[in-house]
Structure 1
Amino acid sequence: MPDPDTTAVYAAEDLYADWLDRARRTPGEPLQVRVGEEVRSFEPEVEPRFTDPDHVQAYVDRVLAHLTSTGATYDDAEGRDLTAIPVRVRARRGRRQAEYDGDGVIAIPPREVGGAWSLRAAVVLHEVAHHLTGAGGHGADFRGTHLRLLEDLGLPVQAELLHTAYRLQSLETGVDGDDRTLLRIGKLLRQAERTTNAAERDAFFAKAQALATRHQIALAVARASAQDEERREDPTYETVQVGERGKRSLARFVRLLLEVARANDLKAAIYSDNTRVTLYGFPSDITIVKALYATLVTQMVADGDAHLRSGAHKADVQEVWDARRRRWASRPVHGSTARTAFYEAWTAHVAERLTEARTRARRQVEAEQPPSASTEVALRAKEIEVVDYFDKMTTEHGVRGTWRGAAYAGAAAPSSWGAGTSAAARARLGSEPGLPSGA
């Protein structure tokens, strides 16, 4: 029985490939794509190209190895993880079609018979998606798998481009709208947790924050539209457990959560013992902040542990009062002081990077569509609504006083401060792909 979606999928992917070709011809310049009356701007990751089917084979092997190493699983109806099943690439005699035969074989026409068009990742990953779907056809399951594959390979902008092409052909992908955005943010954060490469981790965090900012702007505009009244969110609050009473570094964990909240339009009230923080704002923003914080605090603690294990903090000395000898003495910095300084520096620099990612995303939105009065009013209305709600709820909850954090520790442990800054900034922000650039 013919697959009714095949023609539309091929049309969408032809459009997607054309966009990638345009981006390739103008490196460093944003790709402008018209979607209805809106012009959107994309900066897609570099698409690998290949010389022959053997080169494609090496790439497919790396793709499957990457999925396995990062814990991404694609199960078939029998519960088998299809990423663990090898795929063989062979040359095809005909030049018009690339094909997955359903038994782990991808046929690619070589350059010699006119198959240059197929020797690119956009075509090859389509066939890999067939393998990972575990079923034939080009339905919603296949399309969702193809999008997920791009995201799992660290190509979220390409995934968004393909998703846009599907939408222009009126094709469903299983998950759309707000839910898809939150899933993509979660996927980026899981990729950041899994990778051991500092550059990739930093890039995933930046992409997650930029995506969150675009999502927040879109929702703010939707809230201001009478046509979207049924989709309006109302502000709410949620209390996040930071740690147990008496646990060390609670104030530093609170500081990190506050910086993430500030970058995502939330207000916060802190419990006096630093064990909990109540977040005030829109539900989708709270969801994003909780996800970002959970990943960032895990990475901060891991980086801090690695710093202390290295022993680098022992190079610092601290002047302390020796009560027994009644004089000042120089002593090595205690591990807890070094950890505190490390956390402070780590948080300060990550806060800068979140803010930079947010600012870039807002500027990109402005570039796509010059700021209109409605957009500006919507963003301002959102800010006012959150502030008014925060003032109302803190009054009702009897919240008083100002959180002062904890004493600054950077001066006491300068090497740990520097190490914290380096750990949070050793890689540039960007759109590095999840596979090596030579893939």
Structure 2
Amino acid sequence: MPDTHEVYAAEDLFAGWLDEAARRPGEPLRIQVGGALQAFEPETEPRFTDPAHVQAFVDKVLAHLAATGSAYDDGAGRDLAGVPVVVRARRGHTRAHYEYDELPARGVMAIPPREVGGAWSLRAAVVLHEVAHHLAGPVGHGPEFRTTFLRLLEDLGMPVLADLLHTAYRLHGLDTGVDGEDRTLLRIGRLLRQAERTDNAAEREAFFAKAQSLATRHQIALAVARATAGAEEKREEPTWETVLIGESGKRSLARYVRLVLEIARANDVRVAIYTSNTRVTLYGFPSDIAVVQALYATLVTQMVADGDAHLRSGAHKADQREVWNSRRRRWELKPVHGSTARAAFYEAWADHIGERLAAARTSARAAAVAADTPVAEGPTSTELAIRAREVEVVDYFGRMQRDHGIRGTWKGTAHAGHAAPGSREAGTRAAARASLGTERALTGGG
């Protein structure tokens, strides 16, 4: 069957990496990819005792997919994630197997138990391969199967395992159905969808950090590849793109711009702002601009929704200020105006999002640099590539400032936080809980 041998070889490599990671808990997994050493911190791979344990795991996987709305359509309007899978013990020890029964409609997974030599199959890397067959339908081991397997790992909140599996496929010359920037944006999108669907603040923070970390690792990989590419090869070049913030006269435009600035800063994109705050122009590499647009599209909607909820709750009325009552000839305490409370809320929301993005970016960069080998006593090749990429963006932005006649410095608006400290605190809390959007926003741009 086409691709089967290469898929098995790639997944053997993938399993070997996971075994190495299991032997060194808490340490980054370092892998040589395309002439550069990359660092991964994979999620823990579940292991099982027997086929009954596998059955419980598969049931949980399908229940999770159903609960999170992760549909796997068979083309006839049926969600295969809603079709049960029965796990049975297999007599042979050399392979696991999946098949589909029409009556009753169910999948059947055969797993060799430990006592016949099937210990190798009692792990998530093998079991989820068979689950991917169930969700992909009768497509063999071609691109549809591989894309389904990658998506399954991402939908289960295992994005680094998906990244590792994708890497193994590519090292064996296999496409994944979706390549390049689209693959990265899809992966980030599914991470952010996981963040959106969890009620656990710690899980949401972890998904959020992984999303920005993935964006940063992708940026670094491009920088290293670009630095080592020959002069004759086609390379990504800096560009610019204008994004509409809002129509003239709309309130809070300056706060929306502030959010764009925080996102852009974490992704090495420079920003020029129209004096009306109605538009911004993003300057940088196309892949970075795409991430900024995607994150802004999801975040600004959530920021506005959180701000509306804050005002509807009436909590902003706890912030008061002194107002002179000319009729009673005395100073009185009055709740701050709703517009002031909203401004303070937005400011804090954008600031905290910026802090979270920056922390994830710093962590990802440190891991990438640590995984590299320094040249003599100087910086690593990764550090040099990152720096060269940053310098190129700065130089490009400088040229565009001259060519486009960009002058002055954006001053924003007066800070509202001091007038409404309660709303500012509420904005910080809401941003700490914030998820970063949906796959549609990421694949549809800003």
Read off the aligned partner of 2:12 and give its amino acid letter: D
1:193–1:295: 8 Å Cα contact kept in structure 2?
no
- Rounded Cα–Cα distance in structure 2 between residues aligned with 1:255 and 1:386: 20
| Map of 1:272 onto structure 2 | 275
1:171-182 mapped onto 2 (5 Å cutoff):
171-182=174-185
| TM-aligned CA deviation for residue 296 of structure 1 | 2.0
Is 1:419 the counterpart of 2:419? The answer is no
| Map of 2:299 onto structure 1 | 296
| Map of 1:367 onto structure 2 | 370
| TM-aligned CA deviation for residue 259 of structure 1 | 0.8
| TM-aligned CA deviation for residue 258 of structure 1 | 0.6
| Map of 2:400 onto structure 1 | 393
Q: TM-score, normalised by structure 2?
A: 0.86
| Map of 1:434 onto structure 2 | none
| Map of 1:437 onto structure 2 | none
Deviations 1:325-361, CA, capped at 9 Å, x for gaps: 4543211233332222222112111111111111111
Change in CA separation of 1:378 and 1:161 when aligned onto 2, cut-off 3 Å: closer
Of 340, 351, 356, 2:354 maps to: 351
User: Identity, % of aligned pairs?
Assistant: 72
SS in 2 for 1:143: helix
SS in 1 for 2:100: coil
Of 11, 14, 17, 1:13 maps to: 11
- Rounded Cα–Cα distance in structure 2 between residues aligned with 1:224 and 1:98: 43
Of 187, 191, 198, 2:190 maps to: 187
- Rounded Cα–Cα distance in structure 1 between residues aligned with 2:98 and 2:88: 10
Is 1:219 the counterpart of 2:217? The answer is no
| Map of 2:411 onto structure 1 | 404
Q: TM-score, normalised by structure 1?
A: 0.88
| TM-aligned CA deviation for residue 256 of structure 1 | 0.7
| TM-aligned CA deviation for residue 127 of structure 1 | 0.6
2:36–2:224: 8 Å Cα contact kept in structure 1?
no
SS in 1 for 2:37: strand
Change in CA separation of 1:325 and 1:407 when aligned onto 2, cut-off 3 Å: farther
Deviations 1:298-334, CA, capped at 9 Å, x for gaps: 3323333343344433332222344554543211233
Of 21, 24, 27, 2:22 maps to: 24
Change in CA separation of 1:323 and 1:236 when aligned onto 2, cut-off 3 Å: farther
Read off the aligned partner of 2:356 and give its amino acid letter: R
SS in 2 for 1:102: strand
Read off the aligned partner of 1:173 and give its amino acid letter: T
**What CA RMSD, in Å, does the superposition of the two structures yield over aligned residues?**
2.6
SS in 1 for 2:178: coil
- Rounded Cα–Cα distance in structure 1 between residues aligned with 2:384 and 2:91: 60
| TM-aligned CA deviation for residue 12 of structure 1 | 2.4
Is 1:158 the counterpart of 2:158? The answer is no
| TM-aligned CA deviation for residue 426 of structure 1 | 5.5
| Map of 2:92 onto structure 1 | 94
| TM-aligned CA deviation for residue 377 of structure 1 | 4.4
Judge which range, 300-309 or 144-153, deviates more. Answer: 300-309
SS in 2 for 1:157: helix
| TM-aligned CA deviation for residue 157 of structure 1 | 0.6
Deviations 1:174-212, CA, capped at 9 Å, x for gaps: 233444223322333344344444333332322222122
Change in CA separation of 1:323 and 1:206 when aligned onto 2, cut-off 3 Å: farther
| TM-aligned CA deviation for residue 293 of structure 1 | 1.3
Deviations 1:228-262, CA, capped at 9 Å, x for gaps: 64332232211111122232222111101011111
SS in 1 for 2:42: coil
- Rounded Cα–Cα distance in structure 2 between residues aligned with 1:320 and 1:231: 64
2:50–2:113: 8 Å Cα contact kept in structure 1?
yes
2:242–2:280: 8 Å Cα contact kept in structure 1?
yes
1:234-313 mapped onto 2 (5 Å cutoff):
234-313=237-316
| TM-aligned CA deviation for residue 151 of structure 1 | 1.3
1:12-91 mapped onto 2 (5 Å cutoff):
12-35=10-33, 37-91=35-89
Is 1:139 the counterpart of 2:138? The answer is no
Of 231, 234, 239, 2:234 maps to: 231
| Map of 1:431 onto structure 2 | none
2:368–2:382: 8 Å Cα contact kept in structure 1?
no
Unaligned runs of 5+ in 2: 102-106, 436-446
- Rounded Cα–Cα distance in structure 1 between residues aligned with 2:30 and 2:341: 48
- Rounded Cα–Cα distance in structure 2 between residues aligned with 1:140 and 1:353: 35
| TM-aligned CA deviation for residue 43 of structure 1 | 0.8
| Map of 1:432 onto structure 2 | none
Deviations 1:393-429, CA, capped at 9 Å, x for gaps: 233333333211122122222222222222333699x
| Map of 1:332 onto structure 2 | 335
Read off the aligned partner of 1:14 and give its amino acid letter: D
SS in 2 for 1:41: strand
- Rounded Cα–Cα distance in structure 2 between residues aligned with 1:376 and 1:367: 10
Is 1:320 the counterpart of 2:323? The answer is yes
Read off the aligned partner of 2:338 and give its amino acid letter: G
1:9–1:166: 8 Å Cα contact kept in structure 2?
yes
Change in CA separation of 1:169 and 1:325 when aligned onto 2, cut-off 3 Å: same
| TM-aligned CA deviation for residue 366 of structure 1 | 0.8
Judge which range, 215-224 or 22-31, deviates more. Answer: 215-224
- Rounded Cα–Cα distance in structure 2 between residues aligned with 1:245 and 1:197: 39
- Rounded Cα–Cα distance in structure 2 between residues aligned with 1:229 and 1:196: 50
SS in 2 for 1:352: helix
| TM-aligned CA deviation for residue 52 of structure 1 | 3.5
| TM-aligned CA deviation for residue 125 of structure 1 | 0.6
- Rounded Cα–Cα distance in structure 1 between residues aligned with 2:292 and 2:59: 36
SS in 2 for 1:47: coil
- Rounded Cα–Cα distance in structure 2 between residues aligned with 1:262 and 1:36: 28
Change in CA separation of 1:390 and 1:324 when aligned onto 2, cut-off 3 Å: farther
Read off the aligned partner of 2:410 and give its amino acid letter: W
Deviations 1:248-294, CA, capped at 9 Å, x for gaps: 22211110101111111111111222221111122111111101111
- Rounded Cα–Cα distance in structure 2 between residues aligned with 1:39 and 1:347: 34
SS in 2 for 1:244: coil
| TM-aligned CA deviation for residue 118 of structure 1 | 2.5
- Rounded Cα–Cα distance in structure 1 between residues aligned with 2:369 and 2:304: 36
Unaligned runs of 5+ in 1: 429-439
